Structure 1
Amino acid sequence: MYNYIFARSFKKREQKQLKFKWMALLCFSLIALSLCAMFKPYLGPLPAAYFCEINNDIRIDGSSATVFIASSLADQTEWIIRPYARKYDHVAMKRVNEWSVKSAASLLQCNQNHSVPAILFSNGGYAGNIFHDFSDIIIPLYINSRQFNGQVQFVITNKQSWWINKYQNILKKLSRYDIIDIDNQDDIHCFPRGIIGLKRHDRELNINSSESPYSIKDFRQFIRSSYSLQKPAAIRLRDGEKKKPRLLIVSRKRTRAFTNAEEIAQMGRRLGFNVVVAEANGNLSRFAETVNSCDVFLAVHGTAMTNMIFLPENAVFIQVVPFGGFAWLARTDYEEPAKAMKLRYLEYKIKLDESTLIQQYPLDHQVIRDPSSIGKQGWNAFRSVYMVQQNVKVDLNRFRSTLLKALELLHQ
Structure 2
Amino acid sequence: MKKVGIIMHGVTGRMGMNQHLIRSVLAIRAQGGLALSDGTVLMPDPIIVGRNEAKIAALAAKHDVERYTTDLDAALADPYNEIFFDAASTQLRPGLLRKAIDAGKHVYCEKPVSEGLEEAVEIARYAKEKGVKNGIVHDKLDLPGLVKLKRLRDSGFFGEILSVKGEFGYWVFEGDWMPAQRPSWNYRVEDGGGMVSDMLCHWRYVLDNVIAPVKSVSCTTATHIPQRVDENGKTYKCTADDAAYATFMLEGDIVAHINSSWCTRVRRDDLVTFQVDGTLGSAVAGLHSCYSQHRVNTPKPVWNPDEPNTLDFYENWEEVPDNAVLDNGFKVQWEQFLRHVFDGGEWSYDLAEGAKGVQLAEAGYQSAKERRWIDLPALDI
Higher helix share: 1
Query: Under a length normalisation based on structure 2, what TM-score does the superposition of the two structures give?
Result: 0.31
Query: Under a length normalisation based on structure 1, what TM-score does the superposition of the two structures give?
Result: 0.29
Higher strand share: 2
Larger relative contact order, structure 1 or 2 (CA cutoff 8 Å, min sep 6): 2
Mark the structure with the bigger radius of gyration: 1
